[in-house]
């Protein structure tokens, strides 16, 4: 059985540090047929040792990536950032790239992949000249849904076809594309909804397939295909 590591958020509960990850990721990956471990936010050498035993990595959603990582000043559009999580996930990516491990980045994970390879982000989707759709879902509201157009011969093509409907929870998105990355999905207003590395087995999705696996079998198929290719 393949072993997949998922990144997590480090929070505080009852004055103690708590490593947290949404259970939807774990359920989708287990249903796809792999075992899952949460990669803790620990010393770089320990992270290296953990990654050495993994068959693949999922970078999960979370806070905004610090604009300093793509050489920009933080604007008033930026919400909560976590420099420790940035460092931790950039370290995971560094070791994954070195080993040529498959990586699936979701939402923040997609954005972090782009930044790792030298790309930048729109600090808010309102800064994207083509943006006309609502991409941010308030926490107390049903998910915003919109169409995406999928690139032919991409990771998503044989699952979603040319056009698909996905959820949307993000206020930031890919701006300048990172080195050796290509766009594999766009919303109708031009916002990047998926990226893929041209050589390495690395895919980033701006939407959250794990949230819709129960209602939409195609979202589960994304995890099924990714795990099958490990």
Stated as kind and residue range, the H or E segment containing 86 is helix 83-99
DSSP state of 64: B
58, 100, 131, 156, 225 from 49: Cα distances, Å: 17, 15, 42, 31, 26
Please tell me the distance from the alpha carbon of residue 52 to that of residue 47, in angstroms, as a whole number.
9
Please tell me the distance from the alpha carbon of residue 190 to that of residue 188, in angstroms, as a whole number.
6
The reply to whether 110 belongs to the active site is: no
Stated as kind and residue range, the H or E segment containing 167 is strand 163-168
3-state secondary structure of 182: strand
Catalytic residue among 107, 110, 128, 213: 107
Q: Which residues, 6+ apart, have CB-to-CB distance to 63 below 8 Å?
A: 9, 79, 80, 81, 82, 85, 108
Give which of 182, 190, 185 is closest to 119, Cα–Cα.
182
The reply to whether 48 belongs to the active site is: no
The reply to whether 34 belongs to the active site is: no
DSSP state of 112: H
Give which of 37, 115, 50 is closest to 81, Cα–Cα.
115
Catalytic residue among 135, 170, 197, 208: 208
Annotated catalytic residues are 107, 208, 210
């Amino acid at each position: 059985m393949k072993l997949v590591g998922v990144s997590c958020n480090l929070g505080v509960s009852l004055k103690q540090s708590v490593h947290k990850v949404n259970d939807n990721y774990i359920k989708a990956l287990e249903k796809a047929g792999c075992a899952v471990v949460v990669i803790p936010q620990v010393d770089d050498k320990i992270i290296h040792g953990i990654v050495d035993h993994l068959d693949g990595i999922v970078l999960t959603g979370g806070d905004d990536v610090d604009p300093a990582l793509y050489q920009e000043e933080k604007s008033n559009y930026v919400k909560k950032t976590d420099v420790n999580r940035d460092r931790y996930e950039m370290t995971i990516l560094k070791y994954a790239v070195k080993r040529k491990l498959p990586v699936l980045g979701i939402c923040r994970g997609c954005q972090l992949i782009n930044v790792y390879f030298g790309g930048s982000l729109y600090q808010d989707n309102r800064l994207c000249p083509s943006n006309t759709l609502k991409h941010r879902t308030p926490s107390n509201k049903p998910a915003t849904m919109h169409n995406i157009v999928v690139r032919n011969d991409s990771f998503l093509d044989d699952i979603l076809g040319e056009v698909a409907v996905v959820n949307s929870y993000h206020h930031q998105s890919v701006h300048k594309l990172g080195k050796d990355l290509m766009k594999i999905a766009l919303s109708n207003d031009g916002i990047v909804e998926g990226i893929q590395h041209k050589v390495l087995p690395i895919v980033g999705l701006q939407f959250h397939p794990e949230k819709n696996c129960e209602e939409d079998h195609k979202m589960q198929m994304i995890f099924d295909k990714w795990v099958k290719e490990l």
